[in-house]
Amino acid sequence: MVIILRIAVRVPPPPLVLRYPLRHNPPMYPVAEELCQVAGDLFFWQAYDPKVKADLFSTVLLTSSGILIVDPIPLAEAALNELVRTAPVVGIVVTSFNHIRVSQEFSTRFSAPLFAHRDSLPEEKVSFTALADGDRICDVLKVVELAGAAPGEIALHFPPNDGTLIVGDALINFEPLGFSLLPRKYCLDEKEMRRSLRKLLPYKSQRILFAHGIPVLSGATARLHRLLDVDLRGNHS
């Protein structure tokens, strides 16, 4: 069952960006069947991808401007249509080079701007608004650059309802690793990533949503503190 919260919206003017053709041969991704509600303004969908042997997660934020979609994979047409019937899609956000997924296709379908760090789309000839540390998307979603993880890695902080962090690859939450850091072999610079993750601690959050892993739905800031403190002690021992 798809649960939708209806909101009043205002549509902001589109950003001034260059426009390029869409990818001709985008990679294939699994299709998620359901849209799951985490909070009144927060949703996700997921599907297992046998190519990477992991679940892929996408996040939806309902803002006063409209719908923001983060790291989208395909969603069943009925669920997607029900979602976008409530409000306009005002942005598609990519959290790293590894999470282009179907962001370009969604951006074109919904005539919505695409937001990403410039290192996430270095060779993609597509329109997008380049993000940097400290930027805000639709005046509500704060960008935190996480150097050392994947190229173009960012996290996002969404303040409403006691706060939510949305992360790409730098943090994961699936078995057998549980809530943990991105393994060293996938990092550009593991030590730099650890330092960068501490930038998230001032952003008080009840929840963390991941590109790979089950959401943390309570006490997220405290859990992140414990994870990073244990990691720090382990690297100093």
Please give the full DSSP string across 74-129, using - where no structure is assigned. -B-HHHHHHHHTTS-EEEEE--SGGG-TTHHHHHHHTT--EEEEGGGSSS--S--E
Structure tokens at 54: 């992991």
Give residue-wise pLDDT tens across range 161-183. Answer: 999 999 999 999 998 899 999 99
User: Mean pLDDT, the chain, as a whole number?
Assistant: 88
Give residue-wise pLDDT tens across range 114-173. Answer: 999 999 988 767 889 999 999 999 999 999 999 999 999 999 999 999 999 999 999 999
Does residue 4 carry a pLDDT above 50?
no
Give the CATH superfamily of 36-236: Ribonuclease Z/Hydroxyacylglutathione hydrolase-like (3.60.15.10)
d(CA 172, CA 212): 6
CA distances from 234 to 159, 197, 227 (A): 31, 16, 11
Give residue-wise pLDDT tens across range 195-237. Answer: 999 999 999 999 999 999 999 999 999 999 999 997 665 564 4
What is the per-residue pLDDT for 11? Answer: 35
Pairing of strands 129-131, 114-117: parallel
Q: What does the domain layout of the chain look like in residue ranges?
A: 36-236
